[in-house]
Amino acid sequence: MNAPLRRVGVVVIVLFGLLFANLNWIQAYKADEYRTSDYNGRVQVAKYDRKRGNIEAGGTALAVSKETDGELKYLRTYPGGAKYAHVLGYEPVNGSATGLERAENDFLAGTSDQLIVNRLRDMVTGDTTAGGNVLLTLSKRAQDTAYDELRNNNRGATKGAAIAVDPATGAVQALVSIPSFDPNPLASHNTNEATSAYNKLDKDAARPLRNRALGEVLPPGSTFKIVVAAAALENGIGQDTNIPAGSSYTPPTSGEAITNAVPSICPQAEVTLMKAVTDSCNTGFAKLGVQLGPDVLKEKARQFGFEQEDLTVGRLGETGLGVAASRTGSMANPDGGTDPAALAQSSIGQRDVRMTPLQGAMIAAAVANGGSQMRPYLVRQLLAPDRTTVYDTANPRELRRPVSGQVAADLRDMMVSVVQNGTGRNARINGYTVGGKTGTAQSAPDRPDHGWFIGFALDSNGKPVSAVCVVLEEAGSGGSAEAARIAGQIMRAAIAEPGGR
């Protein structure tokens, strides 16, 4: 019996060897991953011992940590509430942070390499290093206006977004998505409360947690005509060139006629490009798109920022909030050739064309800024925990040049005409030159249309001060006019109280 007993001893050693090897795997190889896991409450306890930095805009603190008596020392609160929820995100005890709380976590938490000197100093003095502060570009007034106007829109739309940027720098002045949510319960130290608050929001059919300004892609409707017009201007068509129009256009191979919003728009055989933009002539742009071809359209859209998948809005040169890619979609037949019907519908921003509100604002901003599209950003400055040292000041940079200065000037004239004489009259601001383009996009066959407006404001010297995009989802008839009105209000607020640059 001794031989099998010895073998049993070997088996035991093998079993314990397996245990030992597996513990090595967990406690050595995977240790860092587990130590910093989002599910690991220890990270939280250690993290909450340290005062997290503020997030501020225009001197107002929007996210602050308050001392409590609990096991987790500091409670994250959001005095800005729902208004800033999609920009700031929230920092839950369990699970992942979102928004800038996530993107700027290292600096806010005080673990960033940039704060190494502070940490070393505090190691000597025995203090716990507080986190650094993040200053935003937002204009508090523009943000307030955008949030209030969106929520109180006269179309009764419950979903929508607005974003305003400074065309000259790319600094975001306002960024709002409705419906929004109160981030405070999500940051509660009572994790059951936080979880139930999250579950309620997560299950909400209106998806309040979604940042529609950056993450929602919708058919852009007639706002896309600016891109088509830019392509036309670069292909030998001038503002005053007559283009074919008409009250109805049935593209070859398609049984479905494209008509204008009302019969009074461009019923004549030909209108100028200027007139076609001003009145938002569908037949004219459908024919124009078919004439230009899918490659020209797609390339122009790409130059304006369509198809970009890796854009983030946060700190320049660093990560930030992710932006969904805008798409022009397929305009081809199943056999690979161009489908004129798809091309015609895409030319008026329907079919498979999809755009984020940010992309709309960036088109307007590029036009307003002489053809130069600046990279959008939200973080103006990083401030040391003691608020004396500035670590990082945003240095605006050009993202791309979608159009030349001349084409931009022509587009600007046409967009100004839209607000002065055409469909965007609601956006006018006294003392400023406002340009824009409305859009009404079919959503689903039996659902109301989306209302869009993209636009910009120039001061009396012709210098751009704000570019904006407003979308009211399923707002129905009159949605784009209401969007134009809200856009005007937001730009007015941004002019009255510019955000930081």
Partner 1 sequence: MTAPATPASSPATAGERPGVRMARSRRNAELSLLLLAMALVAAYGAMVEAKVLDTVTPGFWVPAATLTAVFLGMHLVIRFLAPFADPALLPAVALLNGLGVGFLRRLDLAKAAPEERADLAIFAGIGGRQLAWTLISVVLAAGLLALMRDHRSISRYAYTLGLAGIVLVMLPAVLPASISEINGAKLWVRIGSFSIQPGEFAKLALLVFFAYYLVRKREVLSLASHRFLGIDFPRGRDLGPVLVVWAISLLVLVFEKDLGTSLLYFGMFVATVYIATERVSWLLIGLVLFFGGAYLAYVLGDAVGGPFANFYLRAQIWLDPFAQPYDEGYQLVQGLLALGSGGLFGAGPGGGQPLLLPEVQNDFIFAGIGEEIGLFGLSALLVIYLLIVERGLRAALAVRDSFGKLLAGGLAFTLALQVFVIVGGISKLIPLTGQTTPFLSAGGSSLMANWLLIAVLLRVSDAGRRPVDGAGGKVTRPSGPPEQLHGAPTEVIKP
Cβ closer to partner 1: 22 or 248? 22
Least separation in angstroms between residue 114's CB and partner 1 is 26
Helix (H) or strand (E) segment spanning residue 455: strand 450-458
Based on the residue annotation, tell me whether 326 is a catalytic residue of this protein. no
Least separation in angstroms between residue 98's CB and partner 1 is 17
Handedness of CA 381, 385, 389, 392 (dihedral sign): negative
Least separation in angstroms between residue 7's CB and partner 1 is 8
Cβ closer to partner 1: 28 or 444? 28
Contact 344, 362 (CB under 8 A): no
Tell me how far apart the alpha carbons of residues 285 and 348 are, in angstroms, rounded to a whole number.
Answer: 6
User: What is the edge-to-edge ordering of all strands in the sheet holding 433-441?
Assistant: 172-178, 159-165, 464-473, 450-458, 433-441
Cβ closer to partner 1: 14 or 269? 14
Cβ closer to partner 1: 28 or 262? 28
Give Cβ neighbours of residue 327 (< 8 Å, ≥ 6 apart): 217, 306, 307, 352, 353, 354
Residue 428's SS3 state is coil
By CB under 8 A, name the binding residues for partner 1: 1-6, 8-9, 11-13, 15-16, 18-20, 22-24, 26-28, 30-35, 37, 39-42, 45, 94, 195
Tell me how far apart the alpha carbons of residues 47 and 185 are, in angstroms, rounded to a whole number.
Answer: 19
DSSP per residue, 306-368: TT----EEESTTS-EEE-PPPB----B-TTSSB-HHHHHHHHTT-TT-BB-HHHHHHHHHHHH
Tell me how far apart the alpha carbons of residues 179 and 162 are, in angstroms, rounded to a whole number.
Answer: 12
Q: Which one from 222, 280, 347, 466 is the annotated catalytic residue?
A: 222
Cβ closer to partner 1: 34 or 256? 34
Tell me the sheet residues that pair with 35: none
Least separation in angstroms between residue 3's CB and partner 1 is 6
Least separation in angstroms between residue 215's CB and partner 1 is 24
Catalytic residues: 222
